[in-house]
Amino acid sequence: MPIDNGLAPIKKTISTLIILITLIFLSYSNTFQSSWHLDDYINIVERSELHLNTLSLESIKKTFFQKKTTHDRLYRPIPCLSFGLNWYTSQQAVLSYHLVNISIHLLTAFTLFSVIRLLFKTPNLYLKYRSFGYSIALLSSVIWAIHPIQTQAITYIVQRMASMAALFYAVGLFFYLKGKFATVFNKKILFYTCCLLSYMLAIGSKENAIVFPLSLLLVDFVFFRDENLISKKLLYFLIFVLLTISFITIIYFYGVRRTDPITFLTKLYQIRPFSFFERMLTEPRVLIFYLSQIFYPVGSRLSIAHDFELSTSFLSPWTTLISIIIVFSLILFGVLGKKTYPILSFSILFYFLNHTIESSILPLELIFEHRNYLPSFFLFIPISLGLIKLLSRYNRSNKLIMYFLMVFGVVLVFSMGIGTYLRNDVWKDEKSLWNDALMKAPSSARPYIQLAYGHYSKIGDTKKTLELNQKAINLKMHSNTQMLKPWILLEVFITIPENLISLRKRGRMH
């Protein structure tokens, strides 16, 4: 039952926008007054460089840099500028911040839809799926847009950094594919230039976009085969330029610290409760856990904090080795199955490729759900393809099954939207968010600490603040010991509000 032939291109575009706008704003309609949380404070509320009072060039320039003790460092200038503009219009009132975040999400979803449509026009897919391209692109982008796991990237205000990076990443993919399809040389150059600019904006939003050139190679690897010499030369030149930008970015990133990458990473690992070896063993389990959340996104499995046991060996816990085998097997399948199952191969390889920055050697925190925002772009294409193909088949042979499948599709979409709406209720304020986290991660110190100083200390409940703090101190959870160190002194300073505020600032995780 192909939808593609029933609507003119302009009507398809308008219909898609209406559907995405309606579903996204309904799913996020209860977030407009959701409060600040966790890193929102240190990155926005307490960061004076972003507090624009005028729109002078000097003021705007200040938003591009993060103040350090000895130097200013260029830090994610694109989203930081947007935070500065939000502050200029509404200071700490959260409504405008949420409206911008939701609008960015809408633009990303529509761009993703456009990218998927172009993918279905590539040589490896067009002849086989030309009747289904629009339907598959619409369904998969809708599922992605209203999936509950995306709430952390949208409702958690500071994660605009992740969503803006993903937006420009998707725009870059769009222009790259437009360049591939262009038959006029000047148009190719124009589209590839736009692709390059999009990449620079993506990196300027968040550093995980640095793998973008590899994603372009992945697109070519899976969807394009025989190309003329000029196209190949342009591709190689574009990749060379993008990799050069990546290299310069890395040199600058480490250069401003005046230290080599190994020394820099070693120092970072010293403040973490895990070693390099433990992180590398644990992250395959995290990646599999992310996939389980994506394909089984019930609210009880989503949280801002997780009790996630460290892997200390290949068999401790026993799921470590199994997860490593599954990850490598999926990657191997993606590489070997690209001709037979190009869509599935691409979605798998894109997922793992775009997790490499935040889920590999860098000593970041082990797990955060917003990290799936970009890697999950194409995971719903295989599901959508299967459903659309079954609808087409049974439209001709068995109407009853076709209607059942249609109901299933509608239920799937609405369950995602309802799940997102309910998950967004949790983000209402600090109390609701961290009570939810406490129920789901009772062995983690963070929910106790954030409840104590994000809620109870603010309402003057010193007794409850101290009680929750003591519970955090008593926890023996190995993965959270780094959070307890700044808080041991609280029993000494608990009666002095100024010291509580100071300790809270020093105790917040980045």
List Cβ neighbours of 69 (8 Å cut-off, separation of 6 or more): none
**Using an 8 Å Cβ cutoff, are 437 and 367 in contact?**
no
Q: Which two tokens stand for residue 54?
A: 């005028």
pLDDT, residue 281, reads: 96
pLDDT, residue 501, reads: 46
The vertex-433 CA angle with 430 and 436, nearest 5°, equals 140
pLDDT tens digits for the chain (510 residues)? 444 555 677 888 999 999 999 999 999 999 999 999 999 999 999 999 999 999 999 999 988 887 654 456 778 999 999 999 999 999 999 999 999 999 999 999 999 999 999 999 998 888 888 888 999 999 999 999 999 999 999 999 999 999 999 999 999 999 999 999 998 989 999 999 999 999 999 999 999 999 999 999 999 989 987 555 556 666 666 676 666 666 666 555 555 555 566 777 777 788 888 889 999 999 999 999 999 999 999 999 999 999 999 999 999 999 999 999 999 999 999 999 998 999 999 999 999 999 999 998 888 999 999 999 999 999 999 999 999 999 988 888 888 999 999 999 999 999 999 999 999 999 999 999 999 999 999 988 889 989 998 888 888 888 888 888 888 888 754 444 444 434 333 433 343 344 344 444 444 433
Q: Is 35 helix (H, G, I), strand (E, B) or coil?
A: coil
**Using an 8 Å Cβ cutoff, are 472 and 305 in contact?**
no
pLDDT, residue 502, reads: 44
DSSP string across 199-218? HHHHHTT-GGGGGHHHHHHH
Question: What are the angstrom distances between the C-alpha of 90 and each of 42, 170, 305, 329?
Answer: 18, 29, 30, 50
pLDDT, residue 226, reads: 59
Exposed, middle or buried, 144 (CB in 10 Å: 0-12/13-18/19+)? buried
**Using an 8 Å Cβ cutoff, are 49 and 62 in contact?**
yes
pLDDT, residue 479, reads: 40
Residue 339: Cβ within 10 Å count: 10
258 phi-psi bin (left φ>0, alpha ψ -120 to 50, beta other) = left
